[in-house]
Amino acid sequence: MEQFGAGELVSVLLPLPLAGAYDYRVPEDWEVRAVYPGNFVNVPLGKRHLIGVVLGKGEGAVDNARLKDIVSIVDVPAMTEDLRQLIDWIAAYTLSAPGAVLRMAMSAPGIFETPKPRTGYHLAGPPPERMTEARSRVINVLIDGPPRSKSDLAAAAGVGVGVVSGLVSAGTLEPVELLEPLLPKPDAETPGPELSGDQAAAAQALVAAVAASKFQATLLDGVTGAGKTEVYFEAIAKTIRMGKQALVLVPEIALTLQWLKRFEQRFGVAPAEWHSDLRSSQRRRTWRAVSQGEVPVVVGARSGLFLPFPDLGLIVVDEEHETSFKQEEGVIYHARDMAVVRAMKAEIPVVLASATPSLETLANIDAGRYQELLLPERHGGASLPRISAVDMRKHTPPSGKWLSKPLLTELEKNLEAGEQSMLFLNRRGYAPLTLCRSCGHRLECPHCAAWLVEHRRAGRLMCHHCGFASTLPDACPECESEANFAACGPGVERLAEEVAELFPEARMAVMASDTISSPSAAAELVRQMAEHEIDILIGTQIVAKGHHFPGLTLVGVIDADLGLNGGDLRAAERTWQVLSQVAGRAGRAEKPGRVLLQTYLPEHPVMKTLMAADRDGFVAQEKAARREHGMPPYARLAGIIVSGENEREVAATAQKLGRSAPRSNDVTVLGPAPAPLNILRGRYRHRLLLRARRGVDVQSTLRKWLSQSSHSNHVRIQVDIDPVSFF
């Protein structure tokens, strides 16, 4: 391996948003220590010290007088080559500074601090001269227990910390260093459930891919409830048996408690978790343990992609079609796609699992880039739910009500039969719009071009874009007439009100990201639902996500057309996905499920193919439409978002970009135009959209274009490659 000795120059990448790599020198007096690529090193920058990563040989571009020495090598394993390559690749692909990407890979606070040894106390000296009841309780805890910290001891004995300190002063207790408990290892030897023929064939193919230790992207494509999880567990088991590490990316870690339980049942222990809700001590410990190869399996959110696995053997991206894999701020990247890149760099297999794969992934299969494994049937012979439409033009509910007669009838039947129902409405809060009855004024966010959404339970109006919250004003800000507001449209809270009036005896719960205070609260709701302590569950899209509710037999979709309104390029695809996922919650056990879609567009291809359970038909139509309009996955897009506090400056910059835009047979630029959400967090936003034929080097086209145009420091230009959102 390349190495650098005393006096040599190395190039060091620092985790700073705008940075490329800088040269530093290995100190002249480091005769016995060499520096290797990937080493984390402490270096001076201005007046501070920062930790960066050694990339390789220095450029020699800095003159000798200004060249600084490396201060020290940090005592953690070097960053592996595949991860360094991934960082480079993402930076180039997303047009971000490598330093900004590195920052994501080092984002765990304090990962480099040597863990502080914790002090515990054990019995060592003679009993204290003055023995009290409290003191003897502490001593009893230690007689047959391991050493503990002062606070743990006090808690276990039910005394104040002062009592413990007293025993330390008396010499009865003595300090010892507490060792970090090792993370328990999953057991891959206990066999899983007996797999069906299709499941076994798919599992075998994945196990073979893990054994081959080569890059291979595979779509594990199976209807909801087909046993995809059981199948990729076999691949994870193989990875563990080979002594390698597996990473499972999931769209929303807070909702994966059922998944975690299943993992624990299969492998005996919970996997390591990686997400932003972890305490920093947990993050530090997990990061280190991963880097030392001590953690065989990590389940995580997007950022798990940047963990320092020394011996990664498998990546799984569960629910690969989920848009939450796209990070929309800072470095804008798609974690599913970057997982494929990491697998390529690490030369390992990656498994994408979904019942409703993205068109991008399906196109990759058509092109022969990915392989496909099919699980066409639900496990145990459970049938897929029957989906039908309620034509809302014929069954319009009375004003201020949202449940149609046919859905009401089904709900009643289900309650009488003692079966569970779920109502899906993808809108948080009570009402999406509040207006003044006297003058028609709409209550808007002061920082965004968006309406405020009433959350009646919390007693607040909230902006779903920036988080602004206020109470309902006493008077209309426009005409000053008093407390004369009307709630317009439904949210889940309002729907719950309607259901409670109709079925006061039913046990009902609401599940939305803002009504659930914590992952454990979510888990509790999921448990109550799974154990039939709830008759009617009302929820937003978080109820659609992978839960297994064996007693659920009826799903009602309140507004099946909601997602089609936005009109962005993936509106139909996303509506199809979310509706099939919600529908897929029903009838997962013995009793068959049924699904009612309330729609004003029963003739729409999305509704028709859903009712016919004709995924292939939908996909074929959607592919044809995308081809015809020259849209992804058959073309490439890049969004350019110009934003700033001064509207004129923003508009002028966007206009200027528009005038200098590249245009050819292969590249078109649409816009500029004010963004649909044209003010966000007090910043004006204009957008341009570059569309290119596949095969065009979009990045260099963009780089050339954007580097030519100068703009004020107050205006920000963001590039969003392969955009998922267009607001």
Residues that bind ligand ADP (CB under 6 A): 193-196, 199, 222, 224-230, 379, 548
Which of 610, 587, 612 has the alpha carbon at shortest distance from 599?
610
Q: Which does 551 bind (CB under 5 to 8 A by kind): Zn ion, ligand ADP, none?
A: none
Q: Which is nearer to Zn ion, 488 or 508 (CB)?
A: 488
Q: Which does 209 bind (CB under 5 to 8 A by kind): Zn ion, ligand ADP, none?
A: none
Residue count, binding to Zn ion (CB under 5 A):
14
Interaction pattern, residues 402-441, with Zn ion; x per rule: CB under 5 A: ----------------------------------x-xx-x
Q: Which is nearer to ligand ADP, 226 or 278 (CB)?
A: 226
Neighbour count for residue 651 (Cβ, 10 Å): 18
Q: What is the 3-state secondary structure (H, E, C) of 233-275?
A: HHHHHHHHHCCCEEEEECCCHHHCHHHHHHHHHHHCCCCEEEC
Residues 718 and 702: their CA atoms lie apart, in Å, by: 11
CA angle 658, 659, 663 (to 5 degrees): 80
Q: Which does 436 bind (CB under 5 to 8 A by kind): Zn ion, ligand ADP, none?
A: Zn ion
- Residue 229 CB, shortest distance to ligand ADP, in Å, is 3
Out of 463, 557, 595, 721, the residue judged to bind Zn ion by CB under 5 A: 463
Handedness of CA 57, 59, 64, 70 (dihedral sign): negative
- Residue 532 CB, shortest distance to ligand ADP, in Å, is 16
Closest residue to ligand ADP using C-beta atoms: 227
Structure tokens at 595: 């699904």
Q: Which is nearer to ligand ADP, 195 or 652 (CB)?
A: 195
Residues 339 and 353: their CA atoms lie apart, in Å, by: 13
| Residue bearing tokens 């109709």 | 502
Q: Which does 195 bind (CB under 5 to 8 A by kind): Zn ion, ligand ADP, none?
A: ligand ADP
Site stretch for Zn ion (CB under 5 A), options 122-130, 385-393, 446-454, 590-598: 446-454
Residues 234 and 212: their CA atoms lie apart, in Å, by: 15
Q: Which does 476 bind (CB under 5 to 8 A by kind): Zn ion, ligand ADP, none?
A: Zn ion
Q: Which does 222 bind (CB under 5 to 8 A by kind): Zn ion, ligand ADP, none?
A: ligand ADP
Which of 135, 134, 117, 118 has the alpha carbon at shortest distance from 126?
135
- Residue 435 CB, shortest distance to Zn ion, in Å, is 8
Q: Which is nearer to ligand ADP, 372 or 568 (CB)?
A: 372
- Residue 511 CB, shortest distance to Zn ion, in Å, is 24
Q: How many DSSP H helices and E strands does the chain contain?
A: 19, 31
Out of 305, 315, 448, 492, the residue judged to bind Zn ion by CB under 5 A: 448
Structure tokens at 539: 């929820």
The answer to whether residue 444 forms part of the interface with Zn ion (CB under 5 A) is no
Site stretch for Zn ion (CB under 5 A), options 134-142, 185-193, 460-468, 503-511: 460-468
Q: Which is nearer to Zn ion, 447 or 507 (CB)?
A: 447
Q: Which is nearer to ligand ADP, 224 or 245 (CB)?
A: 224
Neighbour count for residue 419 (Cβ, 10 Å): 16
Say if residues 380 and 235 touch (Cβ distance below 8 Å): no
Contacts 24+ apart (CB under 8 A), 5-8: 5/30, 5/31, 5/34, 5/35, 6/30, 6/31, 8/35, 8/57, 8/58
- Residue 466 CB, shortest distance to Zn ion, in Å, is 3
Q: Which does 447 bind (CB under 5 to 8 A by kind): Zn ion, ligand ADP, none?
A: Zn ion
Say if residues 232 and 351 touch (Cβ distance below 8 Å): yes
Segments of 100-141 assigned E as strands: 118-123
Q: Which does 448 bind (CB under 5 to 8 A by kind): Zn ion, ligand ADP, none?
A: Zn ion
**DSSP label at 547?**
-
Q: Which does 445 bind (CB under 5 to 8 A by kind): ligand ADP, Zn ion, none?
A: Zn ion
The answer to whether residue 677 forms part of the interface with Zn ion (CB under 5 A) is no
Segments of 565-634 assigned E as strands: 594-599
Interaction pattern, residues 472-491, with Zn ion; x per rule: CB under 5 A: ----x-xx------------
- Residue 318 CB, shortest distance to ligand ADP, in Å, is 8
Q: Which does 608 bind (CB under 5 to 8 A by kind): ligand ADP, Zn ion, none?
A: none
Q: Which does 642 bind (CB under 5 to 8 A by kind): Zn ion, ligand ADP, none?
A: none
The answer to whether residue 449 forms part of the interface with Zn ion (CB under 5 A) is no
Contacts 24+ apart (CB under 8 A), 599-602: 599/389, 599/390, 599/391, 599/392, 599/560, 599/561, 600/391, 600/392, 600/393, 600/561, 601/560, 601/561, 601/564, 602/389, 602/391
Q: Which is nearer to ligand ADP, 225 or 490 (CB)?
A: 225
Which of 244, 271, 267, 234 has the alpha carbon at shortest distance from 343?
244
Site stretch for Zn ion (CB under 5 A), options 110-118, 310-318, 380-388, 465-473: 465-473
Strand order in the sheet with 420-424: 386-391, 594-599, 552-557, 420-424, 536-539, 508-511
Structure tokens at 713: 């420091």
Which of 25, 679, 434, 343 has the alpha carbon at shortest distance from 351?
343
- Residue 202 CB, shortest distance to ligand ADP, in Å, is 11
- Residue 657 CB, shortest distance to ligand ADP, in Å, is 45
Q: Which does 261 bind (CB under 5 to 8 A by kind): Zn ion, ligand ADP, none?
A: none
Interacting residues toward Zn ion by CB under 5 A = 436, 438-439, 441, 445, 447-448, 463, 465-466, 468, 476, 478-479
